[in-house]
Amino acid sequence: MNILVTGGAGYIGSHTVYELLESGYNVVVYDNLSRGHVAAVDRRAVFVEGDIRNHQLLKNIISNNTIDAVVHFAADSQVGESMEEPSKYYNNNVAATLALLDTMRDCKVNKIIFSSTAAVYGEPSNWPILENMPTIPTNVYGRTKLVIEGMLADFAMAYGFEYVSLRYFNAAGALKNGRIGEDHAPETHLIPLILKTALGQRKEIGIFGNDYDTEDGTCIRDYIHVTDLAAAHRLALEHIINVGGSRIYNLGSEAGFSVRQVIERAKAITGIDFSVKETPRRAGDPAVLVASSARIKEELGWQPRYSDLDNIIV
């Protein structure tokens, strides 16, 4: 099977590329390197630098490599930036994905795995979050991903597309052999920023808001190991290739940790008492996001193996 991975030079993309290669798939990575790193792409994959809005190039890549299915990661994914630059997010996420789907149609490829996000739920009133709960995003990033999910449903209905949309909670951690990991520039995610602080590369870690309606006043998130996410993509691919149809799944560890708890755990594991500063809230952050992953466990047999804080931080 030949799989095109857009954004395969990025964080979750590169870990999924590794998982697919280990499982015997042929992989073509297509990435414009706006955020990704070519060094993160496993040498067994074919790498092509390009933008998904480049119709002709993408069309050639899909037909020359007789692509069977697409795993679509390429996107901008920072909540804070999305609130300041919505146009960038509608262009790079919504418009670019529409271009990708149209090119797939042209090439008669109709199977796609899509990187969605827990941010589609906004401020849910109950936890854990189930896939059928209301989707009312509180930030532009989440809204762009929800628009794309709508596009996928419409393409499925009208053109026979089959898709699996994976709503990730907080991806974290690195490949166990240490060859690849999280490397964003600029880095905005909590766990890598904490570890940079512990390493002395930053003066302090900020806690964005201490007045949320949670036990210790800081936001609660569900951290899922990137290797467990990668395995879910492989299962989702097997599902649309062997069974077909379209599904939406949450992907989380089903356990919530507050920002303060993550910081305390990192201090205990590293043995370093780095400095912490309480700062105002960041725009667009919901108080609590904790998944139910029961649906993907039951339907695809997915089981998280590495998604505990210790495994993620070490």
Return the residue of 50, 86, 181, 206 that touches ligand UDP, per CB under 6 A.
206
Given the residues 18, 25, 89, 141, select the one marked as catalytic: 141
223 is catalytic: no
Q: Which of residues 268-297 bind ligand UDP (CB under 6 A)?
A: 282, 285
Return the residue of 34, 64, 66, 188 that touches ligand UDP, per CB under 6 A.
188
Which value, to the nearest 10 degrees, does the dihedral of the CA atoms of residues 87, 89, 95, 99 take? 140
Q: Is 221 in the site for ligand UDP (CB under 6 A)?
A: yes
82 versus 246: smaller Cβ distance to ligand UDP: 82
103 versus 307: smaller Cβ distance to ligand UDP: 307
Show the tokens assigned to 93.
């996420």
Q: Is 76 in the site for ligand UDP (CB under 6 A)?
A: no
Q: Is 189 in the site for ligand UDP (CB under 6 A)?
A: yes
213 versus 298: smaller Cβ distance to ligand UDP: 213
Q: Is 62 in the site for ligand UDP (CB under 6 A)?
A: no
45 versus 219: smaller Cβ distance to ligand UDP: 219
Print the binding letters for residues 153-172 with ligand UDP: x by CB under 6 A, - otherwise: -----------------x--
Candidate segments 32-40, 103-111, 202-210, 270-278, binder of ligand UDP by CB under 6 A: 202-210
Candidate segments 67-75, 85-93, 183-191, 299-307, binder of ligand UDP by CB under 6 A: 183-191
Least Å distance, CB 168 to ligand UDP, is 9
Count of alpha carbons within 13 Å of 188, Cβ hemisphere only?
12
Q: Report phi then psi at 276, rounded to 5.
A: -125, 135
111 versus 284: smaller Cβ distance to ligand UDP: 284
3 versus 312: smaller Cβ distance to ligand UDP: 312
Angstrom distance (rounded) from CA 256 to CA 233 = 23
Candidate segments 42-50, 128-136, 188-196, 293-301, binder of ligand UDP by CB under 6 A: 188-196
For the chain, give the longest Cα–Cα distance: 57
Return the residue of 259, 296, 300, 313 that touches ligand UDP, per CB under 6 A.
259
Least Å distance, CB 148 to ligand UDP, is 17
Active site residues: 141
The residues binding ligand UDP (CB under 6 A) are 79, 170, 188-190, 193, 205-208, 219, 221, 259, 282, 285
